Chains A and B, each alone.
Chain A
Amino acid sequence: MNSTEKYIIRTSNLSIGYTSKNETTTIASNLNIQLKAGNMVGLLGKNGIGKSTLLRTLTKVQPALSGDIFIDENNINKVGNNQLAKTLSLVLTERLPDSSLTVFELVALGRQPFTNWIGYLTTNDLEIIQLAFEKTNTKHLMQSKCYELSDGQLQKVLIARALAQNTPIIVLDEPTAHLDLHHTVNTFSLLKNLAKEFNKTIIISTHETNLTLQLADELWLMTPQNFICGKTNDLIENNNLEQLFDSDLIKFNKSLKQFTIKHS
């Protein structure tokens, strides 16, 4: 490893899982991630393999079992909550609690790490919010209440909120889970653009495997045996994708770069 290289996210011997009173459940261990800024990463794996746990650990929502996480070469445990919020923003799968927040208010909440104690929005804040609306094509929704939005619109607005937080890293947990193909493709290309245009690091856990293979710069594969990360094309070349679903029904087609159903 070249010591002058800077990684936006780096982990060393990271173990993730849960601890309860009596036992420790390790979900994955020995994770060594090295990620450079400006990449779009697709996190792939079967249901229940621990994708959310990995994202929750990387974003300090839950503690690591062992090992270290460095964000921008700072140990995540030594970074304060507010400082972390300026580096890393989230888009979660969980449904928003009912409220009568307007779309504008929701997106403006993204400025919270930067505003004063009462949350006053400066002209600079307003400009960044404006830009977030433009990038996500949601300006016309600004005055709507959040509960009036369709799933597709809400997802875009939540991405706009993360954009308003204006962090170098955006982590998305299954952002297209409730969306149709049209909105899914839309969301993915929006994220791809953000990575390219603004040098943002986008980490996205998803089940849209075929789409991810086309758009992601890097892949993190979580298989029952191990954790593999690398450039998308390298992993395709090395047949790593075969291990993703150890199923008799699905097989990876290298030339098509996608999974197909195995014909018996």
Chain B
Amino acid sequence: MIPTEKSYRNTFILLLFVLVIIFLVNISLGSVYIPLKGIFSSLINGEVEKESWRAIVYNYRLPKAITAIIVGSGLSISGLLMQTLFRNPLAGPFVLGISSGASLGVAILILGASFLGASISSFSFSNFGLAIAASLGAFLVLSAVMIAAIKVRNTMSILIIGLMFGSLTSAVISILAYFSSASQLQQFMFWSFGSLGNLSWSEIFALSVTFIIGISLVVFIIKPLNSLLLGENYAKSMGVNVKSTRNIVLIATSLLTGVITAFSGPIAFIGLAVPHLTKLLFSTSNHKILLPAVAISGAIIMLICDSIAQLPTSEFTLPINAITSLFGAPIIIWLLVRKRKIYY
């Protein structure tokens, strides 16, 4: 009997179990203590001791946990797509300037409002306005990087070009910031710290729809992504339309990264690191396994980071962006030192 693909069922069951546990832990934590029983009954709409608990769980903690799951999964999947497409372990939404592009979009909207005139600023500060601006920014920068990628074959050069676009956008943001008022600056700074909270249910709905569209696009390119592991020429020789695969990756990543960045701010580290963590855990390059694995791991890690960021039992919440890097970077360094080489 010929062995087909290795079965990862147990690992997946374990991961899903961890996800559920972390999800419950995440919802139980916060400045107001709510016992687990209270959480459960709020979730299933049962009897609750205090009506305020239900309100806290429903209007604050549950939306935040769902946002964390979508943000974690979406960014991780984007990172995986970039790493496969560019065949480079350093690729990720951040390194290729996509997050910077989203930041630029938001910066132009918030900071550039004074240049563009008050007529735009009156409606632009809703989260939806930010989402559109960020997606456009992300799409713009990613397209520019991709156009460069078509001309330049060397993947190292492409990464450097991505970094250059990143610094270009940062420069533009600095100039915009220099000419903005203190209140505009503060709004932009808060956005750039990253935050998973403060999303209304309708915004979560928009985020979920984008997420589902992005994921559905990706599901259809699992097969070509696998053949791209052998390089473009082999992929072509196996009947893969490399151009259209590239375009789908382009659209899916800018959609996912753009919208996520818009609602939650530019969140570092997740997109680059989670795919590596998952690849080490699963030791496979097969996207049929990697995609769901990366999605679940991303959600778990984001929930953990968010739980830490809430500083349990205190009233303060740290910027999520700081937590992801603070706790994630050492883990990656440790894994790399231990395993020596990451195969992507």
Residues of A in contact with B (beta carbons under 8 Å apart) = 59, 61, 80-86, 88-90, 92, 94, 96-102, 104-106, 109-110, 112-113, 115, 117-119, 121, 126, 129-130, 142-143, 145, 147, 165
Contacts and interface: CB of A to CB of B under 8 A. Distances in A.
B127 interface: no
Contacts of B236: 61, 81
B238 A85 contact: yes
A126 to B, nearest CB: 5
B285 A81 contact: no
A141 B47 CA distance: 61
A99 B223 contact: no
Interface stretch (B57-65, B225-233, B307-315): B225-233
B239 interface: yes
Nearest to A126: B2
22 contacts: A81-B236, A81-B241, A83-B239, A92-B231, A92-B233, A92-B234, A94-B231, A96-B230, A99-B285, A100-B283, A100-B285, A100-B344, A101-B285, A101-B286, A104-B3, A105-B226, A109-B226, A109-B227, A112-B223, A117-B220, A130-B2, A165-B238
A87 to B, nearest CB: 10
A124 B175 CA distance: 62
Most buried by A among B229, B231, B233, B234: B234
B90 interface: no
Nearest to A171: B237
Contacts of B234: 90, 92
A79 to B, nearest CB: 11
B233 A126 contact: no
A131 B223 CA distance: 23
A84 B240 CA distance: 11
Contacts of A129: 2
A81 B238 CA distance: 8
Given A100-B279, A112-B227, A147 B343 contact: yes
Nearest to A83: B239
Interface in B232-288: 233-234, 236-241, 279, 283-286, 288
Given A61-B233, A147-B343, A82 B239 contact: yes
B288 A59 contact: no
Contacts of A83: 239
Nearest to B237: A90
Contacts of B5: 105
B237 A88 contact: yes
Contact of A90 (B3, B233, B283): B233
A130 B222 CA distance: 24
